[in-house]
Structures are given as C-alpha cells and as structure tokens.
Amino acid sequence: MNSVAAMCEAVGADVVDVVEGIGSDRRIGREFLQPGPGWGGSCFPKDSHSLVHLAETHGYGFSMMRGVIAVNDEQRERMVRKVQRAAGTNDLNGMTISVLGLTFKAGTDDLRDSPSLAIIGRLRELGATVRAYDPTTTGRLSRIQDSFLEGINVQQSVDEAMRGGEVLVILTEWPEFRSLDFEQVKELLSGSAIVDTRNLLDPQSVRAAGLSYDGVGRKA
C-alpha cells in the first residue's frame, strides 16, 4: 500500500478512496490496506532478508522480494522528506521535532527495527533534536530501551513531547493519538505543522485549527 500511497500523492488522489475501492472486494478486505512509514519488528524484516538470501543460495535473484524491501526502505526516507517539507528546510540543524510513537506498531513495547526509530535517526543526522513520547516508555527505562533510545529526549507525556516542537510527527498508531486537542497542539508547538505517517487524524479538523497537515497518500 505504500507504493499506492506514493502514487496517490503524485496524481492528487486520496489513498482512503483507493482503499475503499480495493477493500470492497471481500476476497481482499480492508484490514491490511493501511499505508504507513514502513514495516518493522523482529520478524518481517528478518524473514524478508532471509528469503532473499535463501533464494541466492539456490541461484535465484528474487527480484520481487528485493523490490519490496527497497520500497520499504524508500518509504522511511519519504517520511523524512515530509518532515523536511513541513519544516520548510532540508537542513534541520537546531530544530526541535516532536514525535509521538516509538514502537514499531501499537499494542507492543517492541522497538526492534522500528520505522519510528529509523526515521528519528535520519532526522537526528540532519541536525534535529527529537522530543518523543510513547506509552511504553514512561517511567524508568529498561536497559534494553535505553540502548534503543539513546540520543532521543524521551518525555513522560504527549504534551511534553509536543512542547516547543517545530513539527509534530505521528509515527506509531497508538489509539490515544487520535484524540489530540488541536488547539492545545497549536499552543504547545512552536511551529504549526503535523506530519501524520499513520493517517490517524482528520485532515479537515487539523487545518480548521490553523495547523498544516500532511498524511500518507492523502490529498493536499
């Protein structure tokens, strides 16, 4: 769906409409047709690379799986470019980016190969300071969490993560992020841009509050 979302952005379509059309076929359904910042976790990335390696040992290039991996990697870079556009500059040196969500998906505390952390890593390479919140990283961090989150300013609440950020980026689809108070968001941010990589928010409601919105495959 990430390739479809990218095409929607290119031609001015809305991925929500495309999902509705494809998902209306009961043989397919809508459940797994949501675009996002790319897959992650402990299994899918490892297994996809293992399939490529296994194919190589038997003399098969498995170009389709290589292409899938390449698209996933590119999707993460595409999210970084969205943040750059929202910030109004490619050089994020000295800027504060607020991030909601650190785990690779909602409902788990697993940080392994999280697209959120990959994207944050790129933002930091570009000079940004990242203030982040995730429901699973409140209180004292474990040694494993510390190793994954080194260099990230982990906050204890959504509000603290948003405070002073020039761009707000939603990277994990935790349900509590759907109910943000956009007037409060506007007060806490120093900027006025939201990049919603999970399409959790209603674009019209965000814009009605005087904030800019960029989702994945959504109409501008």
What pLDDT, on the 0 to 100 scale, is given for residue 1? Answer: 67
d(CA 50, CA 48): 5
Predicted pLDDT of residue 166: 98
Asked if residue 115 lies in contact with residue 76, where contact means CB atoms within 8 angstroms, the answer is: yes
CATH number for the domain formed by residue range(s) 2-214? 3.40.50.720
For residue range 114-139, what is the model confidence (pLDDT) as tens digits? 999 999 999 999 999 999 999 999 99
Residue 185 and residue 95: Cα distance in Å, rounded?
A: 17
E strand map for the chain: 96-100, 129-133, 153-154, 167-170, 193-196, 212-214
Q: What pLDDT score does 83 carry?
A: 98
Domain ranges across the chain:
2-214
Facing residues of 99 across strands?
A: 132, 169
CA distances to 22, 80, 161, 163, 202 from 155, rounded to whole Å, are: 39, 21, 6, 10, 25
* Residue 134, Cβ density class (10 Å: 0-12 exposed, 13-18 middle, ≥19 buried): buried
Mean pLDDT in runs of 10 for the chain (220 residues)? 70 76 74 82 84 92 90 93 97 97 97 97 98 96 96 97 98 97 97 97 96 90
Residues with catalytic roles:
43
* Confidence at residue 33, expressed as pLDDT on a 0 to 100 scale: 67
pLDDT confidence of residue 219: 75
Q: What is the pLDDT of residue 21?
A: 79
